[in-house]
Structure 1
Amino acid sequence: MRLLPALAGAVCLAFSLLVAQPVAAEDAPVEVPPTVQEMAASLQVRIDALGTLDKQIEQAPERYRDSLVNRRDDRAFRALQELGRMGQAVLSLPENDPQRDAGRQFLEGYLNIAGERVLSRIGTLEDTIDQAFARLDGLSGAERIEGEARVHALQGLRYRYYSALVEIIKACRGLSLASDSMVERFQPMLQMQTEAMVGRMEYTGIALRDLRARQSLEKDNADLKTAIATLSRQQKTDLQHLTTMIGLLEQLGVQTQEFRAVLVQQGQGLSLATLESGAITTLLEETWDTVRDSLVTRVPNFLFNLLVFFVIVVAFYMLGRVARRGIRAACERPGVKMSTLHKNTLVSITGGLVTLMGLLIALAQMGISLGPMLAGLGVAGFIVGFALQDTLGNFAAGGMILIYRPFDVDDYVEVAGVAGLVKKMSLVSTTIATIDNQILVVPNSKIWGDVIKNVTSQKLRRVDMVFGISYGDDIEKAEKILVSILEDHDSVLRQPEWKVKVHQLGDSSVNFIVRPWVKTEHYWDVYWDITREVKMRFDREGVSIPFPQRDVHIYREDA
Structure 2
Amino acid sequence: RTYRDSVFFNETILATPRAILFAFLNWATRLDGGLAILMDLAIVALSFLALLFVARFVRSIARRWIGRVPTISNLLEAFLEGVVFWLVVVIGLLVVLASLGVNITPLFAMIGGASFILAFAFQDTLGNLASGLMIMINQPFDEGDYVEVGGVGGTVKSVSIVATTVVTGDNQVIVIPNKNVWGNVITNVTASDTRRVDLVFGISYEDSIPEAMEVLRRVVTNHPAVLKAPEPNIRVHQLADSSVNFICRPWARTEDYWTVYWDLTHQMKEAFDVAGISIPYPQQDVHIKTQVG
CA contact (8 A) 1:394 1:428 kept: yes
* Equivalent in the alignment of 2:125: 391
CA contact (8 A) 1:501 1:514 kept: yes
- Alignment of 1:314 with 2:11, yes or no, is no
- Alignment of 1:427 with 2:161, yes or no, is yes
* Equivalent in the alignment of 2:113: 379
Inter-CA distance 458–304: structure 2 relative to 1 (3 Å threshold): same
Task: Give, as a single letter, the amino acid of the residue that structure 2 aligns with 1:313.
Answer: F
> Highest CA radius of gyration, 1 or 2?
1
**Residue of structure 2 aligned with 1:364, choices 98, 103, 109:** 98
Q: Distance in 2 between matches of 1:465 and 1:317?
A: 57
Inter-CA distance 307–365: structure 2 relative to 1 (3 Å threshold): farther
Inter-CA distance 454–284: structure 2 relative to 1 (3 Å threshold): farther
**Residue of structure 2 aligned with 1:515, choices 246, 249, 252:** 249
Q: Secondary structure at the match of 1:493?
A: coil
Q: Distance in 1 between matches of 2:4 and 2:104?
A: 24
Higher mean C-alpha deviation, range 312-321 or range 461-470: 312-321
**Residue of structure 2 aligned with 1:340, choices 74, 81, 86:** 74
What is the deviation of 1:320?
0.9
Q: Secondary structure at the match of 1:511?
A: strand
* Equivalent in the alignment of 2:223: 489
**Residue of structure 1 aligned with 2:189, choices 446, 455, 467:** 455
What is the deviation of 1:371?
2.3
Task: Give, as a single letter, the amino acid of the residue that structure 1 aligns with 2:267.
Answer: E
Deviations 1:6-40 (A, max 9, x none): xxxxxxxxxxxxxxxxxxxxxxxxxxxxxxxxxxx
Q: Secondary structure at the match of 1:502?
A: strand
* Equivalent in the alignment of 2:149: 415
* Equivalent in the alignment of 2:13: none
What is the deviation of 1:488?
0.8
What is the deviation of 1:552?
1.1
TM-score, with length taken from structure 1 = 0.45
Aligned length: 272
What is the deviation of 1:338?
3.2
What is the deviation of 1:369?
2.4
**Residue of structure 1 aligned with 2:58, choices 317, 323, 328:** 323
What is the deviation of 1:310?
3.5
Task: Give, as a single letter, the amino acid of the residue that structure 2 aligns with 1:412.
Answer: Y
What is the deviation of 1:434?
1.8
* Equivalent in the alignment of 1:499: 233
Inter-CA distance 297–434: structure 2 relative to 1 (3 Å threshold): closer
Inter-CA distance 336–494: structure 2 relative to 1 (3 Å threshold): same
Q: Distance in 1 between matches of 2:244 and 2:4?
A: 94
Deviations 1:414-449 (A, max 9, x none): 111211222221111111222222221111111111
The residue correspondences of 1:64-83 to structure 2 (distance < 5 A) are none
What is the deviation of 1:285?
4.1
Deviations 1:334-390 (A, max 9, x none): x84432321221121111011011101111111122222111111011112221111
Percent identity between the two aligned chains: 46
CA contact (8 A) 1:317 1:358 kept: no
What is the deviation of 1:302?
6.0
Q: Does 1 or 2 have the higher relative contact order (CA < 8 Å, sep 6+)? A: 2
Deviations 1:121-171 (A, max 9, x none): xxxxxxxxxxxxxxxxxxxxxxxxxxxxxxxxxxxxxxxxxxxxxxxxxxx
What is the deviation of 1:499?
0.6
* Equivalent in the alignment of 1:466: 200
Q: By percentage of residues, which structure has more helix?
A: 1
- Alignment of 1:436 with 2:177, yes or no, is no
Higher mean C-alpha deviation, range 519-528 or range 399-408: 399-408
Q: Distance in 1 between matches of 2:185 and 2:5?
A: 64
Inter-CA distance 436–301: structure 2 relative to 1 (3 Å threshold): closer
Task: Give, as a single letter, the amino acid of the residue that structure 1 aligns with 2:277.
Answer: V
What is the deviation of 1:555?
3.6
Inter-CA distance 475–498: structure 2 relative to 1 (3 Å threshold): same
Q: Distance in 1 between matches of 2:184 and 2:233?
A: 33
Q: Secondary structure at the match of 1:535?
A: helix
Task: Give, as a single letter, the amino acid of the residue that structure 2 aligns with 1:477.
Answer: E
CA contact (8 A) 1:410 1:422 kept: yes
Task: Give, as a single letter, the amino acid of the residue that structure 1 aligns with 2:148.
Answer: E
Q: Distance in 1 between matches of 2:80 and 2:261?
A: 40
Q: Secondary structure at the match of 2:147?
A: strand
TM-score, with length taken from structure 2 = 0.83
Inter-CA distance 283–468: structure 2 relative to 1 (3 Å threshold): farther
Specify every segment of 5 or more residues in structure 1 that has no aligned partner in the other structure, as ranges.
1-257, 259-281, 290-294
What is the deviation of 1:556?
4.1
Deviations 1:237-292 (A, max 9, x none): xxxxxxxxxxxxxxxxxxxxx9xxxxxxxxxxxxxxxxxxxxxxx59949x99xxx
What is the deviation of 1:519?
0.4
The residue correspondences of 1:96-495 to structure 2 (distance < 5 A) are 285=5, 299=33, 305-331=40-66, 336-495=70-229
Q: Distance in 2 between matches of 1:453 and 1:359?
A: 43
CA contact (8 A) 1:397 1:448 kept: yes
Q: Distance in 1 between matches of 2:42 and 2:222?
A: 76
Task: Give, as a single letter, the amino acid of the residue that structure 1 aligns with 2:181.
Answer: I
What is the deviation of 1:553?
2.0
Q: Secondary structure at the match of 1:400?
A: helix
Deviations 1:79-108 (A, max 9, x none): xxxxxxxxxxxxxxxxxxxxxxxxxxxxxx
Task: Give, as a single letter, the amino acid of the residue that structure 2 aligns with 1:554.
Answer: I
Task: Give, as a single letter, the amino acid of the residue that structure 1 aligns with 2:253.
Answer: K
- Alignment of 1:543 with 2:277, yes or no, is yes
Inter-CA distance 331–283: structure 2 relative to 1 (3 Å threshold): farther
Higher mean C-alpha deviation, range 321-330 or range 426-435: 321-330
Q: Distance in 2 between matches of 1:547 and 1:309?
A: 79
Inter-CA distance 284–315: structure 2 relative to 1 (3 Å threshold): farther
